Amino acid sequence: MMKNKVMGLINLVHEPDELEGLTANRCPATVPFGGRYRLIDFVLSNMVNSGISRVAVLAHTKYRSLMDHLGSGKHWDLHNRQSGLFILPPTSDDAQDLRRGDLYHMFQNRDYLMRSHHEYVVLARSHVICNIDLEPVVAFHERQQADITVVCKKFSSTMPGKSRKVLMDAAGRVLEMQDHYGRLNTEYMSTEIYVIRRELLLELVESSLAQGQEHLVRHAIMTRLDQLKVYGYPFDGYLGMVNTLESYYANSMQLLRSDVWKDLFFRPGPIFTKVKDEPPARYLEGAKVSGSVVANGCIIEGTVINSVLFRGVHVRKGAIIRNSIIMQNGVVGETSMLDYAILDKDVKIEQGRDIRGAAGSPFVAGKRKII
């Protein structure tokens, strides 16, 4: 039912990005997360699991790793005759044009939106990680006869990251929205997942641009809350806003709770990613691993506590890793100590090093660094 009615549009234009070194050479969408995923896997899988079979990705900057990761879309089952994955990179390489807002980029790709026959578009961002069935959201949207439905989540004091605030009345109608720095007193935030009629989206893009507006949510939607029927759909599963380094670290550490691990990766659907042919993880004689998430291809000879190990990480004898995140193919040398560290891909820690960050500000090593 969703297949011919709803299409997905993942908007990577000006994604909020305070991920520091993690996005030095990649866009937020392809920041590695959870041992084997990239951030964009969550929204893509949600769409596919909800029955959406056509997804466009509005790419913006630093998207080489994105093209590599997405490929033909077959890992998300988006490589079929009737459906598919469409990557829409910027149509101009002019720096001035690149700086313009998402409305401009959508306008540049309006042909794609016009050619589609789907009634609705689900708009989403890649930095919001959750596991959600979108079919009830679309049903809610139709039931409310809404112009726009925004999926909302109750704020929780423990979750960092920056998110928009949403104020609803008792019936769920959105009265006001503010950017993260706003002082609006509300218990709900926006998950940046919006359901909108395709034709209304096209209309908003054109009319807002004509009025000199640049950004879809901030301008086209937030300034029209009195003209449009915007409803909030409350979502109560696990959700992480991964747009700051602090929230990246905190959300990674949340995975070490078994309930979060199950919620995020299994319920209601599985999260898909590009498949690699790594062998299963090997725990050798001296391995001591507890409270951790470990991906395939790891070889563990040392101690790993309260940490996330991505694919192909090698922890050598006597090494002790605590409260850390080690990305693909990292090597931690013999008797080295790591505490509160994030190692990007292919980082090599030589023998006997002692590296410590702090809970609030983890130590970050850039890709391919040797320490």
Rg of the chain over CA atoms, in angstroms?
21
Name the minimum Å distance from CB 319 to other proteins: 16
- CA–CA separation, 23 and 289 (whole Å): 29
Name the minimum Å distance from CB 18 to other proteins: 25
Residue 160 or 297: the one with the smaller Cβ distance to other proteins is 297
Q: Structure tokens of 206?
A: 């054109």
Contact residues: other proteins, CB under 8 A: 34-37, 75, 258, 261-262, 265-266, 270-273, 275, 277, 279-297, 299, 308-310
- CA–CA separation, 19 and 30 (whole Å): 12
Residue bearing tokens 């090093």: 353
| Amino acid in position 74 | K
Tell me the DSSP string of 119-133. Answer: SEEEEE-SSEEE---
Which are the contacts of 280, defined by CB distance < 8 A and separation ≥ 6?
296
Residue 290 or 361: the one with the smaller Cβ distance to other proteins is 290
Name the minimum Å distance from CB 50 to other proteins: 17
Residue 42 or 107: the one with the smaller Cβ distance to other proteins is 42
Name the minimum Å distance from CB 71 to other proteins: 13
* β-strand pairing of 320-322 with 303-305: parallel
Residue 161 or 312: the one with the smaller Cβ distance to other proteins is 312
Residue 106 or 325: the one with the smaller Cβ distance to other proteins is 325
Name the minimum Å distance from CB 258 to other proteins: 6
Alpha-helical regions (H) of 126-180: 135-143
Name the minimum Å distance from CB 20 to other proteins: 24
Residue 90 or 297: the one with the smaller Cβ distance to other proteins is 297
- CA–CA separation, 66 and 270 (whole Å): 21
Contact 303, 283 (CB under 8 A): no
User: b/e per residue, 275-305, with b = 16+ CB within 10 A?
Assistant: eeeeeebebeeebebeebbbbbbbbbbbbbb
- CA–CA separation, 87 and 93 (whole Å): 16
Q: Structure tokens of 304?
A: 């790993």
Name the minimum Å distance from CB 294 to other proteins: 5
Residue 46 or 208: the one with the smaller Cβ distance to other proteins is 46
Q: Structure tokens of 361?
A: 């500000």
Name the minimum Å distance from CB 51 to other proteins: 18
Contact 57, 70 (CB under 8 A): yes
Residue 123 or 264: the one with the smaller Cβ distance to other proteins is 264
Task: Say how many residues make up the chain.
Answer: 371
